[in-house]
Amino acid sequence: MKAKEKKYWGNLLDRSTINNTIVTNILKTEFGQITAENSMTWEATEPSKGIFSFSLADPIVNFAKSNGKLLRGHALVWHAQLPAWMTVINNRTILTNAVETHITTVMSRWKGDIYAWDVCNEILNEDGTLRNSPFSKYIGENFVSIAFTAARKADPNAKLYINDYNLDSVSSAKVLSIVNLVKNWRLAGVSIDGIGSSTHLSAGLGAGVQAALTYLATAGVEVAITELDIANAGPTDYSNVVKACLAVSQCVGITSWGVRDSDSFAFNNGLMYDANGNKKPAYDAALAALS
């Protein structure tokens, strides 16, 4: 990827895989960036209000640093994996303070170590409207500005992303909406540097990714494929996705959402390695597309 002037091809590491030598050896030799799948979420890092725990994430950060890998942080503001204490807050001021404190504390922990953060994750419905969450319900759309402002202050050098899934079709309402929203937020001074497209694909949909990435980049930001898996891991689909990122200058890299099929949350045989860590035809297709 670096030979093609991209920053990385990355992959996951988390509590369930960090002690698996098959996974870690593949990460060391084949991938240039690490993302913690669940160990940096709100539930994992602030399980009780004001009481932070980094015992799950620190080993992942240390692995990446000791092996010369870039790091992406995932995810700061997300409707999922919230601790119980967060779900009962129904006051705008209290929730705003919680968001600011959480982002400041978590990002400060690894300031300078994490290249990019998914600041706001999966905040849109399929029709492009804001998802109903504690953040949108009690703060309103301004929670986005609050989150990104806190993130920029916590680590001025980190790339700050809005990340979402189903951004794979250029004609979808969600894609059109996120571009318009990011443009408007940036005009209002919100420090958004990138749009992450999760790219959890059904079989046969790889061909649409280039057009979607091209349109996402019209928001004036960099773009990245952040959680790649493709049902059944078709070689043509993998080739198309790689070529899509290569063709869009603003696409900085690809992150696979798991090393082996057995590590995938999707259980769709959508990754480049089988359960034993053997390379599948998708790997060969991706490598060929990079050649």
The residue type at 95? L
- 3-state DSSP assignment of residue 53: coil
Active-site residue, selected from the candidate residues 122, 126, 141, 222: 122
Q: What residue type is 172 in one-letter code?
A: S
Residue whose token pair is 């109903």:
132
Q: Which two tokens stand for residue 39?
A: 């160990």
Reference 274, options 220, 233, 226, 223; nearest CA is 233
Task: Report residue 135 as tokens.
Answer: 């953040």
| Of 37, 46, 222, 227, catalytic | 227
Residue identified by tokens 């309402």 is 173
Rg (CA), the chain: 18
How many other C-beta atoms are found inside a 10 Å radius of the C-beta of residue 87?
11
β-pair partners for 160: 117
Amino acid at residue number 287: L
CA distances from residue 265 to 46, 175, 247, 258, 290 in whole angstroms, order as listed? 23, 24, 29, 8, 26
Q: What is the maximal distance between C-alpha atoms in the chain? A: 54
> Quick check: is 122 catalytic?
yes
DSSP letters, 213-282, are HHHHGGGSSEEEEEEEEEGGG-HHHHHHHHHHHHH-TTEEEEEES-SBGGG-SS-SS-SSB-TTSPBPHH
143: tokens are 């929670």
Quote the DSSP letter at residue 157: T
Tokens of 15: 């509590």
- Annotation marks residue 30 as catalytic: no
Q: Which residues are catalytic?
A: 122, 227
